Every structure is written in structure tokens, then in C-alpha cells.
Structure 1
Amino acid sequence: MNERARHRSLGVAGVAAAITFAAVGTAQAADPPMVGGGSGIIVDSQAQCTLTTVGYDRGGRLLGLTAGHCGQAGAKVVTEANPNYGVVGRFVYSNPELDYALIEFTLGKINPVARVGETTITGIGAPAQFPAVVCKKGRTTGTSCGVVWGNLRAAHHETWTQLCVLEGDSGAPVMSGSTLVGMVNAYLAVGCLGPEVGTNMSAISADLEARDDVGAGFHPIQ
């Protein structure tokens, strides 16, 4: 975890000023912003991260996933594409061990989509294995693809890949085709040399089920 902590994607200078400006005006009259896996989000006017996916749980709540180090329960979320629209959701749960967080969106405040740019999410699947190639979509480095190295540490919930990731890509969906298999959590070298370390979606789904609370039965929007 010490390696990961040194490379986590945290705040970006200038975000607070942008949000201060965004609070002025009557943006709520506009259409809700489109949000899906790969969308940029701003957390508490400080951290810029990437949404892993958006969908519903068994209770019909509209939820999103991102990296756990992006925020704690209660943190406010605005969309990077349309910060003037205001707060669209809040963090409701953050798991430091698996490094994922759950966001509950206010119904009507976003337009949830399965496709952002060239990335389409059709479901959640098991971790990819060497020598498969996976792709990610992050708000900083966009789309990049690379080989899967597998699980190179004792932790059973993570997979290492040769993906280009930088600050702000935390939470980015890791895809095998259109199947969501993981999220971006850390990089262990300077720049895009990699490797990237990500939490497996199978581990996140299992944790949500075990909690039997908000997020149980989560499935991406179709």
C-alpha cells in the first residue's frame, strides 16, 4: 500500500477556483450532463478522478463507482464536463482495502449512459489474465491499451497491466472488449511507463454483496 499511496491521483491545482465560478448562475435549467464509465468527476472542489461506471443497485438507487482514495463518505461530486450544473451526487461508501468508492447520484441530476466516447460498458466480468490485452478510459490520458501481467502481489483483488495512467485517471474503467473487469487505482513508475495496478470488479461486486447495503446487486446501465 505504500507504493500505491505515493502514486495515487489526488487534487489538481485550480479546481477550487473553477468550482467557485461554477456556483454562480442558473445552470440547473440546462439538461442534465451525460455521465458514464470514463467520465471525469471533481470531488469536493479538490480531486479530479474518473468514474468507473454508472448503474443501479437492487434497491433502484442510481450509483457510480470510482477509486476509494478519491473521496470519503459525504464528499460532493460535480461533473468535469459541466461543473456549472452543480452537485450531482455524493460519496456514500469508501473501502480503503479494495480502494473503491460508491457514489449515489441524485435522480434527474445526470443522464446515465453506457457509452462515453469510444468506450461502451455492457456488463461486469472476471479479471483478465496474461497475455490478454485490456483498455482503459481516463479523464487525463484518454484511451490506452496494454497487456495484462496478472496478480503480482499477495493481494487477490488486484491485477497489474501495462496501461498508461497518470493523475486524474484514478477510477478509470479497465475493459476487456465491452466487459468491465477492473478499475485503475495506481501506477508504480514515472509517467506512462507502468505498470498500472487496479482492483478487480469481481472483488468489488463481492464486497458490495457482502455488505448487503447500498450498492448490493449493482449492475451497469444498459
Structure 2
Amino acid sequence: MTDDTRKTPRQKRAAETVAVILEATAQLLERDGLEGFTTNAVAERAGVSIGAIYRYFPNKRALMHALAERESALHGEEMQRLLQANGSGLAPDRALVRAFIGAFKGRTRARRIAMGVWFEMTPAEALARRLDAFTQILNQTHETIEPINAFVLTRAIHGALRSAVLEGVDFFHDQIFEDELVTLSRAYLAQVRARAAGQDKA
């Protein structure tokens, strides 16, 4: 939950209520966009009182931010699931990209709105920690890379994904987009390795 959340749900019933509220938030954002998005509409859609909304979320932005946080956590879980499915032969870097693209259950409109709020509200340090997780995935695929190379690559891939989400590109779920991001990662790392090998020989 975020700093804007009034109360953190600790009991199972409270957690279930929050899950229902966030699912209603996603459905409304996808269907109506921001124009029809109100806390009253969320309460009606979720089948809870308006008081239940304000018990955990002080405003609409907090709802959208929490939705993005939830999907980010689910993205991490999906990435681990893909990595553990060894029979598929899916490489770790591709698993990470595929899990990110598949987040929000394909709800592109809800994702664009919620992630826009998330990027506005999330401190740069928190975003950096998330991108560091990508470096760990890359290190499962390749030999450990230098911090500067990890920084350049993770920010390049994140920038492409972020722009694709916020701009609402129509190829976001196309296989070729996933392939291009994986190609970007591997081509850059291959160039880094080749440069390092050349320096070693010199």
C-alpha cells in the first residue's frame, strides 16, 4: 500500500475488500477512463460502501496508485512463474519483458492511467530499486555486467516500455515488440562483451 493509504489491511477480510475495490477500479478505468471515474462509482461497482473506500484510500489518485502497485507485484510473481517453468525454455530476460507486457490483464486504458499516476507519485529511489531487480535477471542470463552497463540497459528497456504504456501504442501486445526488446538487451550486452574482449587482448 502507499503512503496515501489511510489504513493497511492486515486481516484476510480487509485484504479481500481492498482486492475487490482495486479490481473495480481497474474495470472502471478501462471502461470509462478518467471521465467516469469517481469514488462513488468504484464503491457501487465493488459492492461496498463509500466509507469502505475511504477507510483505505483518501482519494482517487491513491486508488490508481494502489492499483499500479498491485499490478507491479503481480508482474513480479508472473515473472518468477515464467522463470520456474523450465520446460518452456524461456530465457530470464524474455520472461521479464513478457511478464511486464502481460500485466493489467490486457487492460491498456486502465494501465495507461494508473501507471501515469504511479510514475508521478513514486520516488526516483523506489523506481531505481525496481530496475535493479531487472539487473539481477540479466545476471542470470549473462555473466555479471558492470553497474554502468546495467544502468544504461535497464533504463533503455524501461524507457521503451514506459513510453509504450503512456503513449498507448497499438503494437504493445504484439510478439514483435517483445522480440525487439529482447534483441535490444542481447545486442547491447554482446557489444559490451566484445568491447571487453578486445580490451583484454590489447
TM, length-normalised to structure 1: 0.25
When Rg is computed on C-alpha atoms for both structures, the one with the higher figure is 2
- The structure whose residues are more often helix, as a share, is 2
- The structure whose residues are more often strand, as a share, is 1
TM, length-normalised to structure 2: 0.27
